[in-house]
Amino acid sequence: MKTLSKLLMVLAVVGLVGVANVWGVETSTQTVTITVTPVVTTAFTIDPATIALGNVDVGISTGNVSALEIENTGGITLTFEKTVMSMTNWTLGAPAKDVCKLQAAAQENVPSDWSTAISSVTFSTSLTVYNDLTDDTNGTQLSLDSTGTENLWFNLDMPTDVSAAVEETITVRIKGTSQ
């Protein structure tokens, strides 16, 4: 009987230890960080991509007579900026000898009077410096939703005089940035 009592006592102690372990369970947590970079398509077209003004007298302003069209062909809203990347013979600024002023407006209709258009339509006088592509009345930066379109108009105030009567090539870059 003593053996049975000892056995029952041992079982009771083991049982209590086991219960104590269950009640004294420790927990541990770990944090998982998930990162993701969305793939967005920031694409747009400008059609046509060339404007040929032909022979233009010095000292006058000329705009393109038909609009170019900017179309957002990507999957996300884009805002637009403009810059002149290069010029072959002239510089940008207030018209003077070998200096011209270039303007662009993104809006449905051609600006009625480029001379009264707000300053945001004028390109920076420094090459490769971007500024907003806007309309000619309130300076709102062009923003196009996916598949959106807008007309693009250019105006060139010719130099007052030129050193040489040679063709000038002005390379303009339009940049679309996702929001």
Can you give the pTM of this predicted structure?
0.78
Q: Which pLDDT score is estimated for 5?
A: 62
Interatomic CA distance for residues 102 and 153, integer angstroms:
11
CA 136 to chain centre: 20
99 belongs to a structural domain: yes
Q: What total number of domains does the chain contain?
A: 1
109 belongs to a structural domain: yes
4 belongs to a structural domain: no
Q: Which pLDDT score is estimated for 12?
A: 55
27 belongs to a structural domain: no
83 belongs to a structural domain: yes
Per-residue pLDDT band for 179 (boundaries 50, 70, 90) equals confident
171 belongs to a structural domain: yes
Per-residue pLDDT band for 98 (boundaries 50, 70, 90) equals very high
Per-residue pLDDT band for 42 (boundaries 50, 70, 90) equals confident
Task: Report in angstroms the alpha-carbon separations of 179 from 6, 40, 43, 130, 137.
Answer: 79, 11, 13, 17, 23
5 belongs to a structural domain: no
Please give the residue range of the domain that contains residue 114: 56-178
164 belongs to a structural domain: yes
Q: Which pLDDT score is estimated for 38?
A: 82
Using DSSP, state whether 73 is helix, strand or coil.
coil
Q: Which pLDDT score is estimated for 11?
A: 55
Q: Which pLDDT score is estimated for 25?
A: 85
